């Protein structure tokens, strides 16, 4: 009888321990590593920003080719006209000069779009995240010792991650600011150039004068028979 009673109490005590373990697991929040997750997120952000930078450079290069081609066309046309003074220009040529100046300003903005690079804002320019920082080492042995040594602490790694993300974000913002201005200038310059071509074409079209229109109206009358044939 005692054995059966002990057997009956054993499951109850086991269930109590399980319930206690469950309650402790529920009461204790699951710990994570938010600090590491934050810096990993910064690395992902820096990688995405780098893709945006490359896309801005590609767009700027394409627009630079288009603007340069139209700028060369406008300059060649003005040179062929042989104009030496602004007073000698008519409306199409004035519009073409305006287009040339606007596109020249757009090209300058495109150059500034391609130029900005990520800045380094740390005392020690040597590091392992920027290509420029890696190249600061004299040789591969010095770089290897830097990676394996005590200099590259967790704090230093975090500082370089922050610097990488900030530098690329700053460069990305500057690039797209200049790119937007260049696109507005480019559209304005192309519109002005197209208007110049349209006005020039319209000027070359010879509209009929009033006398020729009057002659055209009266000519059928003069060719008409004086009298109708008799039946």
Whether 46 and 165 have beta carbons less than 8 Å apart is answered as yes
Q: What is the pLDDT of residue 226?
A: 54
| pLDDT tens, position by position, 152-176 | 888 888 988 998 999 899 999 999 9
| pLDDT tens, position by position, 54-81 | 999 999 999 999 999 999 888 888 887 7
Whether 114 and 55 have beta carbons less than 8 Å apart is answered as no
Whether 134 and 143 have beta carbons less than 8 Å apart is answered as yes
Whether 97 and 216 have beta carbons less than 8 Å apart is answered as no
What is the pTM for the complete model shown? 0.68
- Average pLDDT estimate for 135-146: 90
């Amino acid at each position: 009888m005692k054995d059966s009673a002990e057997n009956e109490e054993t499951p109850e005590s086991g269930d109590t321990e399980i319930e206690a373990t469950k309650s402790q697991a529920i009461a204790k929040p699951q710990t994570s590593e938010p600090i590491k997750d934050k810096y990993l997120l910064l690395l992902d952000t820096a990688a995405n920003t780098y893709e945006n930078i490359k896309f801005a450079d590609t767009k700027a290069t394409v627009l630079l080719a288009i603007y340069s081609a139209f700028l060369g066309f406008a300059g060649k046309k003005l040179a062929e006209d042989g104009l030496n003074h602004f007073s000698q220009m008519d409306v199409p040529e004035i519009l073409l000069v305006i287009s040339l100046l606007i596109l020249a300003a757009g090209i300058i903005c495109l150059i500034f779009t391609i130029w900005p690079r990520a800045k380094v804002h740390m005392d020690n320019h040597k590091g392992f995240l920027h290509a420029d920082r890696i190249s600061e080492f004299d040789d591969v042995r010095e770089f290897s010792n830097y990676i394996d040594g005590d200099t590259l602490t967790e704090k230093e790694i975090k500082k370089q991650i922050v610097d990488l993300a900030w530098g690329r974000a700053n460069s990305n913002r500057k690039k797209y600011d200049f790119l937007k201005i260049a696109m507005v200038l480019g559209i304005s310059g192309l519109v002005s150039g197209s208007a110049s071509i349209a006005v020039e074409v319209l000027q070359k079209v010879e509209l009929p004068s009033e006398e020729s229109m009057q002659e055209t109206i009266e000519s059928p009358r003069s060719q008409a028979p004086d009298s109708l044939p008799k039946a």
